[in-house]
Structure 1
Amino acid sequence: MIRDKSTRKPAKDAPEKGASKKDAAKKAAPARAAKRAAVKAPAGRQGAIIAVASPSFRRERALIKRGVWPVAGCDEAGRGPLAGPVVAAAVILDPDRIPRGIDDSKRLTAEEREKLFDKICATAQVSVAVASRSRIDRDNILRASLWALKRAVVALPDAPRHVFVDGRDRLDTACDCEAVIGGDGIVLSIAAASIIAKVTRDRLMCALAQDCPGYGFEQHKGYAVPEHLDALDRLGPTVHHRSFFAPVAAARAKHMPWTVEPVRDLFAVTEIEVQVEASVEIDASAGL
């Protein structure tokens, strides 16, 4: 049997008839870029492809073209843990010396973060501010974090003219401040700040682990993992634990009940005793 070769379908990536190789390469470029950006799906979701884009310097360059410079990015580490401080960092990257590999600190390994920490500190302007456990207890975790972020921005060697901050809350700074939700995965300056904040806090928690053995701070960095909750239940809270976080409050009530103030029942009925002197006479004619 003789098949007609003219009826065969063209190859998937083959150029259209009459199109040059250059045009075909341009057409295939987006597909190749998508493949490079695609990562494997987590276990249990085989077949799915999740595209993860790296943070870019695009927003900073747009401001530089408008004559706005310096531009800083800031982020914090440690809002969620039960123990330890919140650490905030601010970074002004040098456009001509940006280290390769900067990404959201959560996407990097500890070794990658350590290497990038040194490179960022060697090529950029960096500042760090710490909100202590006592400030977190006094102000609440959100206010303490915003306070530390503002302090980090103010501490930069050169005052920025524009600040990008991760999250939905803007900072009360002297310059323009732009909040970017998920900014550590979008804006390169914020991603750099997230690395500085994360590495600094991890080092602090390793130091606290030596002061408070048995809690595993060097492993979980104060987060509410099962090992940490078990240690809290067995040993009770330390001075580094955040008093008003629920697991810490429960552990304090168990190990140090005398430090827990009784909660006043606002709906309890209070009897008020009224005494009337017998010498007081009421004149019936007065119409009372």
Structure 2
Amino acid sequence: MSSSSSSLKFVAGVDEVGRGPLAGPVVAAAVILDIARPIDGLADSKTLSARRREELSALIKTHSLCWALGRAEVEEIDRLNILQASLLAMQRAVMALAIQPELVLVDGNQAPKLVYPVTTIIRGDATEPSISAASILAKVVRDAEMCDLDELYPGYGFSLHKGYPTRAHIDALQKQGVSPVHRRSFGPVRQVLAASLAASS
């Protein structure tokens, strides 16, 4: 944390997970850590094993001053575009915090519209503990939801790739068609829809 923000007590870190997938929501989390109860091992969620993320998620929920989640659904992603939907999810997470932050640290270089002071930090999920904590919470929640969606919409492999555009996912999409949780504004999904429309005309 920078020297200018180190004297603040209520600093919220916020991050989102799920910009790249072809299916499912984008999920954001906001966390205000308790400086009196530091959590060892916080890091960018993508660098951690699933088991370690689960362990840290439990610690974050019990050791932080407060935390909250926000999300944007597939319909909002298709209507707004993924960047605006991601910013909306982050805004919702911050606004759901039980404690008003004195400063909000946002991963990346674009910030959601907030009534609080905001600082954007590129690669903040790897350097700022509160942003790392937010990225871990968001990823654990979204990964679990994609596993649930795998049961609702079997055959796509959501529990394995979490909706990201892997070869297996593209193949399943082309074979099975577009599910209700696929993002229709994303190129590979649009192509499948177009091919289906052409075949039926």
Count of aligned pairs between the two proteins: 200
Q: Residue 191 of structure 2: which of 235, 243, 250 is its match?
A: 250
1 CA distance for matches of 2:35 and 2:200? 53
- Whole-angstrom CA distance in 1 between matches of 2:199 and 2:108: 39
Q: In the alignment, which residue of structure 2 is the partner of 1:279?
A: none
Summarize deviations over 1:258-287 as a string: whole Å, max 9, x none. Answer: 999xxxxxxxxxxxxxxxxxxxxxxxxxxx
Matching of residue 63 in structure 1 with residue 5 in structure 2: yes
The structure with the largest helix share of the pair is: 2
| Residue 181 (str. 1) matches residue 122 (str. 2) | yes
Partner of 1:139: 80
What's 1:231 paired with?
A: 172
> Which runs of 5 or more structure 1 residues have no equivalent in the other structure?
1-57, 261-288
In structure 1, the residue matched to 2:133 is: 192
The aligned amino acid for 1:107 is: T
Structure 1 segment 1-288 matched on structure 2, within 5 A: 58-59=1-2, 62-65=4-7, 68-124=8-64, 125-257=66-198
Counterpart Cα distance in 1 of 2:84 and 2:51: 31
SS of 2:5 mapped into structure 1 = helix
CA distance in 2, matches of 1:258, 1:150: 41
Distance 2:200 2:159 in 1: 28
**Contact preservation (8 Å) 1:166, 1:190:** yes
Question: For residues 92 and 256 of structure 1, what CA distance do their matches in structure 2 show?
Answer: 48
User: Is the 1:88–1:145 Cα contact (8 Å) retained in structure 2?
Assistant: yes
Cα deviation, residue 69, structure 1:
2.9
Q: Secondary structure at the match of 2:70?
A: strand
From the CA coordinates, give the structure whose radius of gyration is larger: 1
**TM-fit CA distance, 1:257:** 4.4
Evaluate the alpha carbon distance shift between residue 252 and residue 121 of structure 1 in structure 2; reply closer, same or farther with a 3 A threshold.
Answer: same
CA contact (8 A) 2:31 2:134 kept: yes
Deviations 1:116-166 (A, max 9, x none): 000000111110011000000000000000011011001000010100000
CA distance in 2, matches of 1:62, 1:100: 23
Residues 71 and 88, structure 2, Cα contact 8 Å, conserved in 1: no
TM-score by length of 2: 0.95
